Structure 1
Amino acid sequence: MAAEPVPRREVVTRSPGATAVPAAYRPAAERSDRLPPAVHTEVRRLIRAQLRAGLAVGGTLAVLVATLPLLLRELPGTGLGPVPPLLVWGVLGIAVYPLFLALAGWYVRRAERNEREYTRAVEGA
């Protein structure tokens, strides 16, 4: 008795009636070469302002994290010996996070203010 042939497997990626490939999503933004020069200037100003804010927060965080070992070494009562673990966990686990939240809050307020200024400048142009 001959075995029946096994049907070939097929990978289905779209509905059977669809023959055309759907167009890729393209946001409804204007091309940059069609924008007036004043808007180009404002976009560049916004990008620079956002970059400045990001670098300020990043630099502040880098300085604070880099100086943390020096701070832990100079804590009162530690001398040159090892720092008590509870104190280290207190500084790293509790004292640092309000500072991170304050920097994050400042950055968000600054970014929103930059965007408001950009919107006002573009609407006025």
Structure 2
Amino acid sequence: MDADPAATPATPPPRVRVTSSRRDAPLRGDVRPLTREIDEQSNLGEVYMSGLMSAQLRLAGMVLAFGAVGLGGLPLLFLLVPATRTLEIGRIPLPWLVLGVVVYPVALVVARYYVRQSERIEAEFSAAVGRR
């Protein structure tokens, strides 16, 4: 009951790969929006939310580390360099000047950086969610 060897082709037909570069090409099947995945707390939604939360945590940790090193380093500087304890600028001791005047503008710049970066992270997340 063997098939006739002359009836079967010697080589299979070549494979063809079909692609479309059109962005408005219809999507296949039922595509669920990512917002629905996030709302339903599915695995995909969890991945997106954990990515957002880790980016926010990384930013907060970086700002916190900068503040801890900056403010925590001042007492260490005053301890290790005795000349800074007695140095006066316009009859105001340097430690008082640094702690009373310089710290606040630096804190405002760091806070502005944090807000801008946080907004950028959230905008990128919204764009990624809305893109799908």
* TM norm. shorter chain > 0.5: yes
How many percent identity over aligned positions?
A: 34
Residue 103 of structure 2 corresponds to 96
**CA distances 1:45-94 after superposition (whole Å, capped 9, x unpaired):** 1101100000000011001111102333537xx27x75556322111010
Residue 55 of structure 1 corresponds to 61
TM superposition score normalised by structure 1: 0.62
Does the alignment pair 1:68 with 2:68? no
Q: Which amino acid aligns with 1:42?
A: Y
Q: Which runs of 4+ in 1 moved over 4 A?
A: 30-33, 81-85
State how far apart, in whole Å, the 2-side matches of 1:32 and 1:49 are: 17
1:121, distance to aligned residue in structure 2 (A): 0.8
Question: Please, which runs of 5 or more residues in structure 1 have no aligned partner?
Answer: 1-29
Q: Is the 8 A contact 1:46 1:118 kept in 2?
A: yes
**Greater Rg by CA:** 2
Residue 8 of structure 2 corresponds to none
Does the alignment pair 1:121 with 2:123? no
Q: Is the 8 A contact 1:72 1:83 kept in 2?
A: no
Aligned residue for 1:57, secondary structure, equals helix
TM superposition score normalised by structure 2: 0.59
Aligned residue for 2:93, secondary structure, equals helix
Residue 48 of structure 2 corresponds to 42
Question: Please, which runs of 5 or more residues in structure 2 have no aligned partner?
Answer: 1-35
Taking CA–CA contacts closer than 8 Å with sequence separation of 6 or more, which of the two structures ends up with the larger relative contact order?
1
Q: Cα RMSD (Å) of the superposition?
A: 2.7
State how far apart, in whole Å, the 2-side matches of 1:120 and 1:31 are: 15
